[in-house]
A and B are shown apart, each in its own frame.
Chain A
Amino acid sequence: MTPKTQEPSVEKVTSEEYKYGFVTDIEADSAPPGLNEDIIRFISHKKKEPQFLLEWRLKAYRQWLKMKTPEWAYVQYPPIDYQDIIYYSAPKAGPKSLDEVDPEILKTFEKLGVPMEERAMLAGVAVDAVFDSVSVGTTFKKKLGEMGVIFCSFSEAVHEHPELIEQYLGSVVPYNDNFYAALNSAVFTDGSFCYIPKGVRCPMELSTYFRINAAKTGQFERTLLIADEDAYVSYLEGCTAPMRDENQLHAAVVELVALKGAEIKYSTVQNWYPGDKDGKGGIYNFVTKRGACRGDSSKISWTQVETGSAITWKYPSCILQGDNSVGEFYSVAVVNNMQQADTGTKMIHLGKNTKSTIVSKGISAGKGQNTYRGLVRIQPAAENAHNYTQCDSLLMGDKCGAHTVPYIEVKNNTAKVGHEASTSKIGEDQIFYCQQRGLSKEDAVNLIVNGFCKEVFRKLPMEFAVEAQKLLSVSLEGSVG
């Protein structure tokens, strides 16, 4: 059979310029490129860290030296020269309040459409904006402080709450967990810290905007979020990045701890620069995200919309230790042009009556490769565990790929584990129907794709859901197939 010929109008590929691609020119106080114990000491010294943290970093570094880059994922990229990366870069003057923030930086946020004050006022969102590696501004801190909620940059937390850091850092993602987590543990420069005290329902959605700026600076964020007993928090993480030619490495670690009865909802919209049409440039996003449902009846819910990055390597996971704990994973991953995504989740059931739900929607267009890779493990002690997994893939164009690699390990017969996956092309008949109702082909595709992702979008906080839909249509523009 000859390959199906497509209408020319269908074949046109998006040339939409990356909207948020610009470089802010501010002086960075950088370390020389390269990685060794001295650099780690330099970072630790610069950040005036306590001894235990430096030792922990060094331990991680020594472990990292013994580790190898993981190669099992369905992604391909040239080897990374870790000696060619600048591991520390911070805007020189440490701002104390919003007024002191470099106007250049504030302008950048405006270009991004995130006027901090306005956004904070209108949406009631506290923004802890990470610009390069140091936090530049935190709003609503006071209001949160009154309720006992700690929401600050990681460095601040190291100084003000070292006991919490010492207790929880690395307790979910140990420093030797994997190659990138070890690297992050050794060189992380900043990130976010959040602690919700017992019984507190966080009054607003906490949000951090990550942004990669100084050229050639790998960004190593560390996020630690602890919800004490019966606390609730919804946390948003979203990111955009400037257009670049050189690949940028991003190896973040996110750790969540939910104690008895606590609930954490963690939402991500990831829109980093995916590289151009030929796959040049773009962010390497190698992230380790994991949450531990430590206490009984705790719940952790991950929702992600992944549209950016040249390579996404990310498996937000839940360790369901407490009895009756619940883990959820809702994901939309979009790849276009030369993007590659290998993403999924791990649900480790340890406690009794634990439940997990996985809904993964993959969309592949252009020459993109999209892989769902997931693990559901029911340990012998996990009586009456329940898992439901659904992975759907949508293919647009005949050069892209969609792959599903689920691992299901059941060691207790009382478990009920179900996995379903389907892969199909975007329906010609559906497009036709929309078109004869007067919609353009583009709009028809958007409509269908949005319908395909609805289950996941519904889980996002409102303002994110709107953004996510917009992102999706931008990412897929013109790639109808």
Chain B
Amino acid sequence: MSTLTAQEHYLSSFSQLEAKLPGQDAAWLKSLRLQALEQFKQAGFPTDKLESWKYTNLSLNLLKEFFTFEVPASTTVVAAQLKKNGFDTDKAHLVVFVNGKFSKELSSLKPLEKGMTVQNLASVLSNETVKAFIGKIALSQNKAFTALNTAFFTDGLFVQLEAGKVLDAPVHAVYVSTNGSQTTQSHLRNLLVLANDSKVNVIEHYWGENVSAYLTNVVTEVAMATGSTLDHLKIGQEDIKGYHIGSLIAQQEEGSYFASRLFSVGGALTRNDIETTLGKKKAECVLEGLYLAKEGQHVDTRTFIDHLSPNCNSTEVFKGVIDDQAVGVFDGRILVRENAQKTDARQSNKNLLLTKEAKIYSKPQFQIYADDVKCSHGSATGQIDEEALFYLQSRGISRDEAKKVLVYAFAGEMVEKVESGYLKPGLKKLVDSWMEVS
């Protein structure tokens, strides 16, 4: 079974689906979709021969299985579940998507003051801003999944803030996959546009309650104007049968501050690409993440920070806990271009292996073309410290309990770093429940 068959399936599906995709009256979008389809045709699905997919082997047979594009949404009580999981959704703008489509009944959008928009993308495709940014930040060239997303996306989150607007309550977008016995796929596109000095906190929350395999392919584009601030948090809580491919691509202007935090616990295979371009001086980014994997899970995180301009700072901390036969991949690349003098870039990747079969591949990279810079990275991989375990045991704590304490001490740091009171209880629960089950 070759790549072609999976690829062909997508190509032929397009002509059938085209008429049903949103944005029928937007000619620009139609041609963008066609162009992306062509780019997908050229790129083909990535194989492990590609450096950026070296450690993640997509099972192409599986890709073919995600044949069904449209699955009716069964009802699910999102808000109640979130509450149970520690997120007090009353305090947030809740935007819910089920199987790739916006669900008005499940969402609770609060009224917003003028100059702020929180919507589903499909309903605003005639908006000029959307036209100006979609496909301009996340380029489809040589990126099969981004191209697929551009061609097939059905919906997603749209947030726009005009100059100086500050949205205090977080925007909590939940993407539910629920498919019963059908294999399914959804392509989601999010667009966040922040004008000068605006500020917002956005949560992308992916979650699956499935009995069959499914694919979530998401692309988030972020445009940040001068002085804007975005606190972005992504929770990957896909079902154990879910495949998640996600790209978060940001473009930062002068003095903007972009924080991206990733908490990935679910999914059979999870791939996250996080990229930001520090395009103008004094822009800053903080990329943090925690990936927890067990059983046969495969979690691949790839980051790329492009220091294009002088006086920009970037801080990157990623931690992983790998249990059972799971595999973790971290590939962090930092590029400091000739013009980017006075760059301060720090990167750290730490991994904890809990079993003999667990594997980790870490690839922290630097490409530096400017001289007046401070760059450092560190990567460390190890197991739970026997002496620390022994110490806790000598204090009357069972070995299992002691292990949990130490794993939490390691992983919990990433939760502690999150300042938002809205998120903390939920994230704590997330990490705790991961440890309970393992």
With known contacts A1-B342, A380-B356, A423-B366, A408–B375 Cβ distance under 8 A = no
Give the distance in Å from the alpha carbon of A416 to the alpha carbon of B338 in the complex. Answer: 36
Residues of A close to B367: CB separation below 8 A: 74, 401, 403
Q: Is A413 an interface residue (CB 8 A)?
A: yes
Other-chain residue from A4, A406, A414 in contact with B363 (beta carbon distance below 8 A): A406
With known contacts A4-B372, A418-B379, A423-B376, A403–B356 Cβ distance under 8 A = no
Residues of A close to B51: CB separation below 8 A: 72
A136-177: which residues lie under 8 A (CB-CB) from chain B?
none
Residues of B close to A414: CB separation below 8 A: 356, 383
Total number of A-B contacts with CB less than 8 angstroms? 124
Cβ-defined contact, B380 with A423, below 8 A: no
Cβ-defined contact, A413 with B358, below 8 A: yes
Give the distance in Å from the alpha carbon of A423 to the alpha carbon of B364 in the complex. Answer: 13
Give the distance in Å from the alpha carbon of A409 to the alpha carbon of B379 in the complex. Answer: 11
Q: Is B365 an interface residue (CB 8 A)?
A: yes
A377 nearest CB neighbor, chain B only: B361
B336-377: which residues lie under 8 A (CB-CB) from chain A?
338-339, 341-342, 351, 353-377
Residues of B close to A98: CB separation below 8 A: none
Other-chain residue from A74, A402, A407, A424 in contact with B361 (beta carbon distance below 8 A): A407
Residues of A close to B353: CB separation below 8 A: 410, 412-413, 415
Q: Is B378 an interface residue (CB 8 A)?
A: yes
Q: Is A67 an interface residue (CB 8 A)?
A: no
Cβ-defined contact, B362 with A408, below 8 A: yes
With known contacts A408-B361, A408-B381, A413-B353, A421–B341 Cβ distance under 8 A = no
Residues of B close to A419: CB separation below 8 A: 362, 364, 377-380
Give the distance in Å from the alpha carbon of A3 to the alpha carbon of B356 in the complex. Answer: 51
Cβ-defined contact, B376 with A420, below 8 A: yes
- Min CB gap B68→A, angstroms: 37
Cβ-defined contact, B311 with A420, below 8 A: no
| SS of B interface (majority) | strand
Residues of B close to A405: CB separation below 8 A: 363, 365-366
* Among A58-66, A211-219, A268-276, A389-397, the stretch in contact with B: A389-397
Cβ-defined contact, A410 with B360, below 8 A: yes
- Min CB gap B184→A, angstroms: 34
A390 nearest CB neighbor, chain B only: B378
- Min CB gap A339→B, angstroms: 15
Give the distance in Å from the alpha carbon of A402 to the alpha carbon of B369 in the complex. Answer: 7
B364-404: which residues lie under 8 A (CB-CB) from chain A?
364-383
Residues of A close to B377: CB separation below 8 A: 404, 419-421
Q: Is A425 an interface residue (CB 8 A)?
A: yes
Q: Is B208 an interface residue (CB 8 A)?
A: no
Which A residues are within 8 Å of any B CB, using their own CB? 1, 3-4, 72, 74, 380, 393, 395-425, 481
- Contacts A/B (CB < 8 Å), 5 sampled: A404-B365, A407-B361, A413-B356, A413-B382, A421-B378
Give 7 nearest A-B pairs by CB, closest first.
Answer: A413-B353, A395-B371, A408-B362, A419-B379, A1-B310, A422-B376, A404-B366
